[in-house]
Structure 1
Amino acid sequence: MESSSPVFAVRRGELELVAPAEPTPRELKPLSDVDDQEGLRFYSSGIHVYRSSNGAKDGEDPATVIRDALAKALVFYYTLAGRLREGAGRKLAVECTAEGAVFAEADADVRLDDLEGALCPPFPCHEELLCPLQQGSTGSYIVDCPLLYIQVTRLKCGGFIFGLRINHTIADAPGVMQFLKALGELARGAAAPSVRPVWARDLLTARSPPCITHDHPEYEFSTEEIAKDKLTSVLPKDMVRRPIFFGPKEISALRNHLPAHLRMSSSRFELITAAIWRSRTAALAYGPEDEVRVQFIVNARGRKRSQAPLPPGFYGNAFAFTVASSAAAKLCEQPLGYALELVKKAKAKATDEFMQSAVDYLVSNGRPHFAVAKTYIVSDVTRAGFEDVDFGLGEGVYGGPAKGGEGEILGVANYITRAKNGKGEEGIFVAVCLPSYAMERFQMEIDTLTHEPVFDPYV
């Protein structure tokens, strides 16, 4: 069941393949050992919304401009015009075939003003605004399939919506943003991207032989844990999505639930992650001794590395998961500061050596899926810059996740993203997805934390 949002009709044209505008290299390019783990073998999606403009490209069809820019962009990002192949040991590589990316143009029976107040994930009618995925010859949606899908949907008011699906094995959020910035530059008339793409996937590979120096609970789970998970048997129709807004007032209230030494030393991401993890655990009513976890992404870019640093222009997956855990009863009974301390310690654990150990673990254990049982997974994309993608075709009014979290139908994963609420206030949104029986309890828990405490829990 969806949260209340506008419903509108979208008329999509035929899907077409857009090939690189010039000849490109024909080669096989192996993915990194971070890229091809099981948990990234899906398509991430994004929505970008633009108001009509009287700028230099006024009157031009956005679909035509972006289609032409895509063909030019694929000359530089020619891997995105290729297809994934799977080799020995489930190792993935891109065969650079120049077959192209999937493109569609569409028209929606809606004006931008009709969407005001709904420009946050999960985005209204997002499945109609994204190209449908195509199966490969083996029935897979990953191997032998297009890596990139783009749809441009014109609105009745002259604005448009840009919808993107991209295979997550090829790029993470900063990598996608780098490609979109390049696409925008070419759409505005540049001859080449200001930042040239760099492959360099060999920099994120396992050591030979692998050397696992840390525990990696982010990839360890048992069938017993899955059976005990509260979401295992919940049907999609019984799930409820609700966008939760954290503006300055809510963030201030969260800080006032903390002891003095944590109030100003904690980031918004840490605060929100701790609050949602604690509230979600209470809402799902786990057993007192059940171990519940929060798992989040730590970026490797800009960090000191024992190996060569990742070069500017690198657009592959460059991150590791880190985990905090607690007995459910203790997490819910202790003040918010307890959950926050666990989040901060987990974040500090993600050193260069920890990240390399995770890569070695992945290769040594068959590239497993990350754990999802009794786990809340969160990714912060507030600094990715999706809202700044500029095609020269109008003012951007929203840029970010389409659905609020990949895999969110299971209530497992969420993005933390920037957006405005219905009052026009800038803040942070988390599109939480939970069983209907748990959502009201979750909302009550969050409301308690985002109001000023009536007493100091640390006195």
Structure 2
Amino acid sequence: MASFPPSLVFTVRRKEPTLVLPSKPTPRELKQLSDIDDQEGLRFQVPVIMFYKRKLSMEGEDPVKVIREALAEALAFYYPFAGRLIEGPNRKLMVDCTSEGVLFIEADADIELNQLIGDTIDPGTYLDELLHDVPGSEGILGCPLLLIQVTRFRCGGWAFAIRLNHTMSDTLGLVQFLTTIAEFTRGAEGAPSVPPVWQREFLAARQPPFIPFHHHEYEQVIDTTPDDNKKSMTHKSFFFGPKEIRAIRSHLPLHHRSTSSTFDVLTACLWRCRTCALVLDPKKTVRISCAASGRGKHDLHVPRGYYGNVSAFPATVLRAGMISTSPLEYAMEGVKKAKAKMTGEYLRSVADLMVTKGRPLYTVVGNYIVSDMTRVGLDTIDFGWGKPVYGGPARAFPLISFYGRFKDNKGEDGIVVLICLPEAAMETFQEELKKMIGEHVDGPFDYNPIKVVSKL
């Protein structure tokens, strides 16, 4: 069982937030988002975080100054990020390119990096300190589209945390923007190596709309969950290395062990454990929605440099009782079925559905959305201090889990999964997970949460 750092008390001192503007004048214009971008289910803020070790060759360089200057240069090319969202007829989102800037916070923490990262990492525990939620900044309309905090640690390491208005980009689009910042921090001159492309009309609804698929992920279901289950939510992260994945595979028939991806195996396990933990009515339907990118699909030619959302959340619907009581391969076949739906035509069908149905929210009741961020490149962003010791998702949501890459203290590569559940359900989830993994389980089952003291 992984040992997370013991209970810590540390102080974060932040300077007043400032607005970073593009380094040069940019066009004042209105830019429409795509019909994938502005769906209700993407109208939220998503945080990611990266941790960097001290680097001797960068002694004397202040990461705050380096990042702030490079950010201004990058915004000259990605100037829509410096604008504000407005809503037009039929709830159509547009960026008013005002060059008002993005929020930037400089901070110092009296703690060392290795006290925050051990055999696993749980950024949700201290995210509020390393990414301060500036009052009034969390809205979708009329608010800064990015919030960035750079926090220096006393060991010389530091953290880069960013909150993205998800309507503007998916994680691959965000990585493209962060890569541009990184290029400027390392002395690049001129334009980014991959010039940004807006062209949001690329994923506009067709005329007339054509919806050939049954989109289970947008079906509206009446919520009959008792209020007690909606109250106190808790966040935890779990590390799955090769041993844990092998243990989960051992629950599958031989022919599935060699033909199923790590994502398939892990997602099926989590879906089953989560369904058991929530103690759902066996007759109720539950969904697994797999966030899937349309980039690279043969029937969707995404322009190089496009940084908008190119993802859908195809779902499979099964009975809760069958997920909880059937062998693991039953849940895994559901995961595979959801993944297989994703094509370019499926994504265009989603865009058409959005316009036809008034941009509905994804299904909330009985849904579990998983987003695999292990291959998007957050763990490769080099601002001059080398690759981060961790670069990935920073927090889960009640319906959404994120996967990130992580290397533990033994140098073992694995996957960190961020989970958010009601407190009582989290305890049951951990017990169910132990059954799946046996003695190999690596999760923060006994650690005490880190205590933090915040000061502006």
Normalised to the residue count of structure 2, the TM-score between the two structures is 0.91
Paired residue for 1:234, among 229, 234, 250?
229
- Give the CA deviation at 1:221: 1.5
Deviation per residue, 1:375-416 (Å, 9 max, x gap): 11110000011111111035521111111x2xx2xx311101
Distance of 2:59 and 2:439 partners within structure 1: 48
Are 2:421 and 1:440 aligned? no
Q: Residues 29 and 93 of structure 1 are in contact (CA less than 8 Å); yes or no, is this contact kept in structure 2? A: yes
| Residue pair 1:210, 1:360 contacting (<8 A) in 2 also | yes
2:347 corresponds to: 355
Contact 1:50 1:396 in 2 (8 A): yes
Q: Find 1:272's aligned residue among 242, 266, 276.
A: 266
Please give the per-residue CA displacement for 1:162-188, whole angstroms capped at 9, x wherever unaligned.
111111000101011111111111011
The question of whether the paired residues in 1 share the 8 Å contact of 2:125 and 2:235 is answered with: no
Q: Report which stretch shifted further, 3-12 or 94-103.
A: 3-12
Relative distance call for 1:97 and 1:19 in structure 2 (3 A) is same
**SS of the residue 1:432 aligns to:** strand
Listed as ranges, the gaps of 5+ residues in structure 2 are 441-456
Structure 1 stretches lacking a partner, 5+ long: 454-459
Partner AA of 2:258 in structure 1: M
Q: 1:79-111, CA deviations, whole angstroms, 9 ceiling, x for partnerless residues?
A: 111111110000001111111111111111111
The match for 2:23 among 21, 24, 49 is: 21
* Cα offset, 1:235, TM superposition: 5.1
Change (3 A) 1:233 1:200: farther
- Rounded to whole Å, the distance in 2 between the matches of 1:298 and 1:370 is 14
Match status 1:49 vs 2:47: no
Aligned equivalent of 1:173, options 171, 174, 178: 171
Of 362, 365, 372 in structure 2, the residue corresponding to residue 380 of structure 1 is 372
Q: CA RMSD in A?
A: 2.1
Amino acid in structure 1 at the alignment position of 2:281: G
Distance 2:120 2:170 in 1: 23
1:242 touches 1:433 (CA, 8 Å); kept in 2?
yes
Following TM superposition, by how much is the alpha carbon of 1:7 offset from its aligned partner in structure 2, in angstroms?
A: 4.0
SS in 1 for 2:336: helix
For the residue of structure 1 that corresponds to 2:291, the secondary structure is strand
Q: Deviation digits for residues 259-285 of structure 1, max 9, x if unmatched?
A: 222212211111111101111111111
Q: TM-score, normalised by structure 1?
A: 0.90
Distance 1:425 1:5, change over 3 A: farther
Residue 314 of structure 2 corresponds to which residue in structure 1? 322
Q: Quick check: 1:134–1:146 contact (8 Å CA) kept in 2? A: no
User: Which aligned pairs between 1:394-405 and structure 2 lie closer than 5 A?
Assistant: 396-403=388-395, 405=396
In structure 2, the partner of 1:125 is 126
CA distance in 2, matches of 1:444, 1:259: 23
Structure-to-structure mapping, 1:98-247, within 5 angstroms: 98-117=99-118, 120-135=121-136, 141-191=139-189, 192-222=191-221, 224=222, 226-227=223-224, 229=225, 233-234=228-229, 236=231, 238-247=232-241
Letter in 2 for 1:219: Y
For the residue of structure 2 that corresponds to 1:76, the secondary structure is: coil
Indicate if the aligned counterparts of 2:127 and 2:394 stay in contact, CA closer than 8 A.
Answer: yes
The equivalent of 2:256 in structure 1 is 262
Match of 1:84 in 2: 85
- The answer to whether the Cα contact below 8 Å between 1:247 and 1:425 also exists between their aligned partners in 2 is yes
